Copies of this chain bind each other. A is one copy, B any other.
Amino acid sequence: MAEKRLTLGVAARLSRYLQILTQTRKSGRSTISSRVLSEYANVNPTQIRRDLSAFGKFGKRGVGYDVDYLITRIKDILHTAGQHNIALLGCGNLGTAIASSDVFVDHGFRIEAVFDLDPARIGQRIGGLTVQHPSEIPETVAERDIIVGVLAVPASAASSAAKSLIDSGVRIIFNYSEALLDAPPGVTVHSMSPAGELLYALYFYLS
């Protein structure tokens, strides 16, 4: 079957649905209605039904969507089934929180290596891994097939941290810092923007 590349909007919404469905399954529920999915995703139910019906007949009227089945199908559509390896840079409070949480693990991402410049942290264990010096990035990225770099470093250190990962072959940079990073061709930089999202929430509260 020929496949069309998804638009940015569809891919973003499907990714969000997948995250919600995974959490729904984790909480022990096996079905979900488009209305409930809509509330969690902040997407209107008509849009959700349209997004999902484009890929086949998923839902049953009055019963809702089968969570397991929908997870499998969306993973197929997004080609994100399988395991994807992460290197985490920065083992301060934020990095430690990320390494100790299952936010990525639940979705097939595994943190395979952690790095920090601080000599006091190197050799320590966080989230079951030993903190390494960034000079070991190139070898580690190659050996452990790492494609995602997560930056939990101060904004002032983000640019050089990203560069060392990209030079070693990492193709997706997931930036938790506020720094604005330039992406060379073939590299995706995704910046978390909590302040931007909070401003957005505030607008609808104030207006």
Other A-B pairs, 18, CB within 8 Å; known A16-B200, A23-B179, A109-B198: A15-B197, A15-B199, A15-B200, A18-B196, A23-B178, A78-B199, A79-B207, A80-B203, A80-B206, A97-B97, A101-B178, A102-B178, A107-B198, A109-B195, A174-B194, A190-B197, A192-B192, A192-B194
Least distance between A104 CB and chain B CB atoms (Å): 6
Residues of chain B with a CB closer than 8 A to A20's CB: 180, 196
Report the bound CA distance from A205 to B188 in whole Å: 7
Q: What distance in Å separates the Cβ of A102 from its nearest Cβ neighbour in chain B?
A: 8
25 sampled A-B residue pairs with Cβ under 8 A: A6-B207, A8-B42, A11-B203, A15-B199, A15-B203, A16-B193, A16-B196, A19-B195, A20-B180, A20-B196, A39-B183, A78-B199, A78-B202, A93-B97, A94-B97, A103-B178, A103-B194, A172-B201, A174-B194, A174-B198, A188-B204, A188-B205, A190-B200, A190-B201, A192-B194
A40 on interface, CB distance cutoff 8 Å: yes
* Most chain B CB neighbours (cut-off 10 Å) among A15, A39, A79: A15
- With A93-B93, A94-B97, A206-B80 already in contact, the answer to whether A107 and B195 are too (CB < 8 A) is yes
**Which residue of B is nearest A191, CB measured?**
B40
Which chain B positions have C-beta within 8 A of A193? 16, 19
Copies in the complex: 2
Q: How many residues of A contact B (CB 8 A)?
A: 63
Chain A residues within 8 Å of B, Cβ to Cβ: 5-6, 8, 11-12, 15-16, 18-20, 22-24, 27, 39-40, 42, 78-80, 84, 92-94, 96-97, 100-104, 106-107, 109, 147-148, 171-172, 174, 178-180, 182-183, 188, 190-207
